[in-house]
Chain A
Amino acid sequence: DVKVTQSSRYLVKRTGEKVFLECVQDMDHENMFWYRQDPGLGLRLIYFSYDVKMKEKGDIPEGYSVSREKKERFSLILESASTNQTSMYLCASSPPRGTQYFGPGTRLLVL
Chain B
Amino acid sequence: QVQLVESGGGVVQPGRSLRLSCAASGFTFSSHGMHWVRQAPGKGLEWVALISDDGSQQYYRDSVKGRFTISRDNSRNTLYLQIDSLRAEDTAVYFCAKDLTTLAIIFDYWGQGTLVTVSS
Decide whether A and B are members of one complex: no
- A residues with a Cβ closer than 8 A to B are none
- B residues with a Cβ closer than 8 A to A are none
